[in-house]
Amino acid sequence: MVHWTAEEKQLIASVWGKVSVEECGAEALARLLIVYPWTQRFFDNFGNLSSPTAIIGNPKVRAHGKKVLTSFGEAIKNLDNLKGTYSKLSELHCEKLHVDPENFRLLGDILVVVLAAHFGKDFSPACQATWQKLVGVVAHALAHKYH
Amino acid sequence: VLTAEDKKLIQQTWGKLGGAEEEIGAEALWRMFHSYPPTKTYFPHFDLTQGSDQIRGHGKKVVAALGNAIKNLDNLSQALSELSNLHAYNLRVDPARFSLQFLSQCLQVTLATRLGKEYSPEVHSAVDKFMSAVAAVLAEKYR
């Protein structure tokens, strides 16, 4: 089980409290598809992904980004039981979606960059370290049920 | 592969740093040590407290090397040849790609905190590609 200090929990909560899940989720997913274009392989039915502009404006990308980040919010509410929280989603990503867990790490890093751009100097080194830890742990929990 | 557009974006972005390059190098390193403590194992000889002269000095070196690479985007292999030897035979940062990824992430976070919206998806992509290309050249001679 992962241990979170009071300071880490505070840094997570204070950032999350100011995040628009819809905007941030859309941005993070769009950037994943732009910066690492091979990730588009999972989204054949999303329509036009032919350019950064197309991706950013794509309503399916926005909607799915929101879904993904909403789920992230669940993790934040359950920091003491991430594996349990993500058990079903982990099975889904393995058995139905066939997503290489490396992609969770990529999305996590992108989310951190999005937060950095959004919060500027407030996204201190301590804040980044906590969030890198969080995205790492979430990625690990999502990969946990793979077989 | 770095497109002409990528190269333009990288050069433009570097141009916006306006003399803060040293600070940026030091901050990126500090963030890396803080977020990825195992990276500190390569610096047992350093004073790793925040703001140390050694971190500042090394940050300056790293950024200067990146600046040089940016001036030679059409021939990274040659521009980084010395550094490539150094990393392969002396420093042996291992796994090369892995640890250099951490520096890349922290440099990008540093740039993003300073540039905000200007660190657009296109810029993000170009910089990420550039850092990957640099890491690949530095790891070229490992074996």
Domains recognised in chain A with CATH numbers: 7-143 (1.10.490.10)
User: Residue B95: its pLDDT value, please?
Assistant: 60
Give the pLDDT confidence of B6-51 residue by residue, as tens digits. Answer: 999 999 999 999 889 889 999 999 999 999 988 888 898 999 998 9
Least-confidence region, from A87-91, B8-12, B98-102:
B98-102
User: Residue A66: its pLDDT value, please?
Assistant: 97
Q: Rounded CA gap, A122 and A101, in Å?
A: 30
User: Residue B72: its pLDDT value, please?
Assistant: 96
**Which one of B34, B121, B124 has the shortest CB-CB distance to A125?**
B34
User: Residue B87: its pLDDT value, please?
Assistant: 85
Domain positions in chain B are 4-142
Instruction: Share the mean pLDDT of chain A.
Output: 95
**Which one of B35, B113, B121 has the shortest CB-CB distance to A132?**
B35
Nearest-Cα residue of chain A relative to residue B36: A129
CA distance B36 to chain A (A): 8
What's the rounded mean pLDDT across residues B55-63? Answer: 95
Domain B4-142 listed as CATH 1.10.580.10 = no
Is residue B16 a contact partner of residue B50, using CB atoms and an 8 Å limit? no
User: Residue A76: its pLDDT value, please?
Assistant: 95
Q: What is B81-119 written as a DSSP string?
A: HHHHHIIIIII--SSHHHHHHHHHHHHHHHHHHHHGGGS
CB-based contact B113 A34, cutoff 8 Å: no
**Which one of A34, A116, A119 has the shortest CB-CB distance to B121?**
A34
User: For residues B38 and B126, which has the higher predicted lDDT (pLDDT)?
Assistant: B126
The structure tokens listed for A72 are 């992230």
For chains A and B, CB pairs below 8 A equal: 66
User: Residue B97: its pLDDT value, please?
Assistant: 56
**Count of CB atoms situated within 10 Å of the CB of A95:** 11
pLDDT for B98 beyond 70: no
- Residue A6 buriedness (CB in 10 A; 0-12 / 13-18 / 19+): exposed
What residues of chain B lie within 8 A of the CB of A35, using their CB? 121, 124-125, 128
User: Residue B94: its pLDDT value, please?
Assistant: 65
pLDDT for A93 beyond 80: yes
CB-based contact B121 A116, cutoff 8 Å: no
Smallest CA-to-CA distance from A105 within A68, A139, A144, A132 is with A139
Angle between the N-to-C axes of helices A59-77 and A102-119, in degrees from 0 to 180, rounded to the nearest 10: 90
Is residue B79 a contact partner of residue B72, using CB atoms and an 8 Å limit? yes
pTM equals 0.89
Chain B residues within 8 A (CB-CB) of chain A? 27, 30-31, 34-36, 105-106, 108-110, 112-117, 119, 121-122, 124-125, 128
What residues of chain B lie within 8 A of the CB of A62, using their CB? none
Helix (H) / strand (E) containing B121: helix B121-139
Smallest CA-to-CA distance from A64 within A31, A37, A30, A35 is with A30
User: Residue B96: its pLDDT value, please?
Assistant: 56
Helix (H) / strand (E) containing A70: helix A59-77
Percent of chain A with pLDDT over 70: 100
pLDDT for B1 beyond 90: no
Q: For tokens 């990288």, name the residue.
A: B10
pLDDT for B83 beyond 80: yes
Is residue B64 a contact partner of residue B91, using CB atoms and an 8 Å limit? no
User: For residues B138 and A68, which has the higher predicted lDDT (pLDDT)?
Assistant: A68
- The 3-state DSSP class for residue A134 equals helix
Is residue A71 a contact partner of residue A21, using CB atoms and an 8 Å limit? no
Is residue A110 a contact partner of residue A28, using CB atoms and an 8 Å limit? yes
User: Residue A1: its pLDDT value, please?
Assistant: 78
Q: Amino acid identity of A31?
A: R
pLDDT for A99 beyond 70: yes
CB-based contact B35 A128, cutoff 8 Å: yes
The structure tokens listed for B76 are 């990274």
What's the rounded mean pLDDT across residues B132-141? Answer: 88
Asked casually if ipTM beats, i.e. exceeds, 0.85, the reply is: no
